[in-house]
């Protein structure tokens, strides 16, 4: 057998056993060994023989199996030696009992997993409908739905049919700092609250609305305001977080003014 394996030079990775306990359980069952009264010498021999066979077949033996092999050899050696009660007492407990209990414990969970296997599984035995609506609270969690923001952004670009400006004055466009200030002032005058859509629609120029939208994002980023949306596609509420007097507009960094706007 060894020659055959050597000649074929195959390395086989297999998950026939899920670890050394699984293998021990199999061997105990095969050899009719009572888990509560392990005959270590018997099961250790079976275990070693099995590992040898795995090696003969050029199966890679994982470290966990070797640790168990060492434990079994150790237990077997204890079994062969005459008992020395003092030593056992010193250890507190018979290491064989520890292994027996571990095996028994593992066997219980194995049984439990087999009973899970036989239950009617979703996607195998039984099928359910997907929920029609989105789960409540799934995507609106004490914050804002980014798509809600995006919708408002598109709305404000499209909604008001803006008359074409007759003359475009360069350099008098909205300035970012000013828009931040305007947002904060609107919040103060609204008793600390404002609705984003209404705020933006109240502004005349599309460019001002765009800059104001960015100013809102910047203010939220700096922790000055909260942006909240209670329900999906619902109104987006802005709320002042800090007293206006404590807000330092010099903290604005999210906007680098273009040269064209600096020279105003």
CB of 118 vs another protein, minimal distance in Å: 10
Decide whether 9 or 129 has the Cβ nearer to another protein.
Answer: 129
In this complex, which beta carbon is closest to another protein, that of residue 7 or of residue 122?
122
* Binding region for another protein (CB under 8 A) out of 121-129, 159-167, 217-225, 251-259: 121-129
Sole binder of another protein in the list 30, 55, 83, 119 (CB under 8 A): 119
Length of the chain: 264
Of the pair 75, 156, the CB lying nearest another protein is at 75
- Residue from 115, 158, 189, 258 binding another protein (CB under 8 A): 115
Nearer to another protein, 96 or 209 (CB): 96
For the chain, first and last CA: distance in Å? 90
Closest CA to 56 of 97, 5, 9: 5
Q: Judged by CB under 8 A, which stretch of 37-45, 91-99, 165-173, 195-203 contacts another protein?
A: 91-99
Distance CA 99, CA 25 (A): 12
How many residues bind another protein, per CB under 8 A?
45
Cβ atoms 145, 232 nearer than 8 A: yes
Which range of residues in 50-58, 107-115, 162-170, 184-192 is near another protein by CB under 8 A? 107-115
The torsion angles phi and psi of 170, rounded to 5 degrees, stand at: -75, 135
Helices (H) and strands (E) in the chain, counts: 11, 3
User: Tokens in use for 22?
Assistant: 């699984």
**CB-based contact 189:240 (threshold 8 Å):** no
Q: Which of 11, 113, 253, 258 binds another protein (CB under 8 A)?
A: 113
Contact characters 56-85, another protein, x per CB under 8 A = ------x-x--xx--x--------------
- What is the x/- site pattern for another protein, positions 229-248, by CB under 8 A? --------------------
Closest CB 152 distance from another protein, rounded Å: 30
Calpha distance 241→226 (Å, rounded): 6
**Where would I find the H helices in 161-224?**
176-189, 196-201, 206-221
Handedness of CA 123, 126, 129, 135 (dihedral sign): negative
Unique residue bearing structure tokens 């009719």: 32
DSSP 59: B
Q: Which of residues 128-147 bind another protein (CB under 8 A)?
A: 128-133, 135
Determine if 26 is a binding residue for another protein (CB under 8 A): no
177 within 8 A of 252, measured Cβ to Cβ: yes
What is the distance, to the nearest Å, from the Cα of residue 9 to the centroid of all Cα atoms in its chain? 41
Question: Shortest Cβ distance from residue 98 to another protein (Å)?
Answer: 6
Binding site for another protein (CB under 8 A): 15, 18-22, 62, 64, 67-68, 71, 92-93, 95, 98, 101-102, 105-106, 108-117, 119-133, 135
């Amino acid at each position: 057998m060894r020659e055959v394996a050597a000649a074929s030079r195959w390395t086989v990775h297999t998950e026939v056993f899920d670890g050394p306990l699984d293998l021990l359980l199999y061997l105990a069952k095969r050899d009719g060994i009572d888990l509560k009264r392990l005959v270590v010498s018997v099961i250790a021999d079976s275990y070693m023989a099995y590992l040898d066979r795995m090696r003969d077949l050029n199966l890679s033996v994982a470290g966990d199996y070797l640790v168990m092999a060492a434990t079994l050899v150790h237990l077997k050696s204890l079994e062969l030696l005459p008992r020395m009660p003092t030593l056992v007492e010193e250890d507190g407990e018979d290491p064989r009992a520890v292994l027996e209990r571990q095996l028994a414990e593992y066997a219980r969970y194995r049984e439990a997993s087999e009973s899970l296997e036989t239950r009617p599984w979703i996607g195998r035995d039984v099928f359910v409908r997907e929920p029609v609506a989105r789960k409540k609270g799934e995507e609106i969690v004490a914050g804002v739905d980014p798509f809600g923001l995006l919708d408002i952004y598109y709305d404000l670009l499209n909604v008001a049919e803006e008359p074409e400006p007759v003359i475009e004055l360069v350099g008098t466009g909205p300035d970012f700092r000013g828009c931040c200030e305007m947002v904060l002032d609107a919040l103060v005058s609204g008793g600390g609250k404002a609705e984003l859509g209404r705020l933006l629609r109240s502004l005349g120029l599309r460019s001002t609305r765009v800059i104001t939208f960015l100013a809102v994002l910047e203010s939220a980023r700096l922790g000055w305001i909260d942006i909240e949306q209670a329900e999906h596609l619902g109104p987006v509420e802005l709320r002042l977080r800090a007293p206006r007097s404590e807000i330092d507009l010099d903290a604005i960094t999210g906007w680098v003014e273009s040269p064209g706007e600096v020279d105003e």
